[in-house]
Amino acid sequence: MEEKVVSLEEHAWWYWIDEGVGELLKQSLTMIGEVKEWPEKYHDYAFVVFPAAKAYEGFLKKMFLERGFITREDYTGKRFRIGKALNPFLDQELRASESVYDRIVTHCGGQELADQLWNTWTGCRNVLFHWFPEEKNAIAFDEAKKRVYEILKAMDEASVGCKLGQ
């Protein structure tokens, strides 16, 4: 499936995100345009997704902070983990204090958005950037491109659902 490439500036969240997040997104999109022309072919194109996945982390952290889902200390510190906070399967005793997932469900339009953000996190970041002997998660170029667009779509949906910049 070929995605329609639009200018990043056309996304509602573009002027809301931090400059560094925007530069990471530009880097992934630039690689999508250039890597396909390289004569070398690779076993794994996760490197195309990495800058966008890193940008997604920055986007989510800023969204969580601005919506009051995390503290400034969580935002600037080294201990806050998005994968834990977004996990819909987090142990019940931790959900009240550490779950952002439940707050997204309550304050940002429901479970569908929370699930989309979680699935994008796991599919575009965790699965690609962790290595396990029994799970070879190498992706082809077309799949890498698809994952970058999945991140952009999740950011679009979060921008609307969580009313970012309003």
Q: What is the pLDDT along the chain (166 residues), one digit of tens a residue?
A: 345 556 899 999 999 999 999 999 999 999 999 998 999 999 999 999 999 999 999 999 999 999 999 999 999 999 999 999 999 998 888 888 888 999 999 999 899 999 999 999 999 998 888 777 776 788 999 999 999 999 999 999 999 999 987 6
Name all domains of the chain by residue range, CATH numbers in brackets. Answer: 17-161 (1.20.120)
Would you say 52 and 148 are in contact if contact means Cβ atoms under 8 Å apart? Answer: yes
Token duo for residue 30: 């630039």
Half-sphere exposure at residue 21, Cβ-oriented, CA atoms within 13 angstroms: 21
DSSP state of 7: -
Q: What is the pLDDT of residue 94?
A: 83
pTM of the model: 0.92
Q: What is the pLDDT of residue 135?
A: 66
Q: What is the pLDDT of residue 4?
A: 53
- Give the relative orientation of helices 141-161 and 19-35 as an angle to the nearest 10 degrees: 150
Closest residue by Cα to residue 125 from 28, 38, 35: 28
Q: What is the pLDDT of residue 85?
A: 93
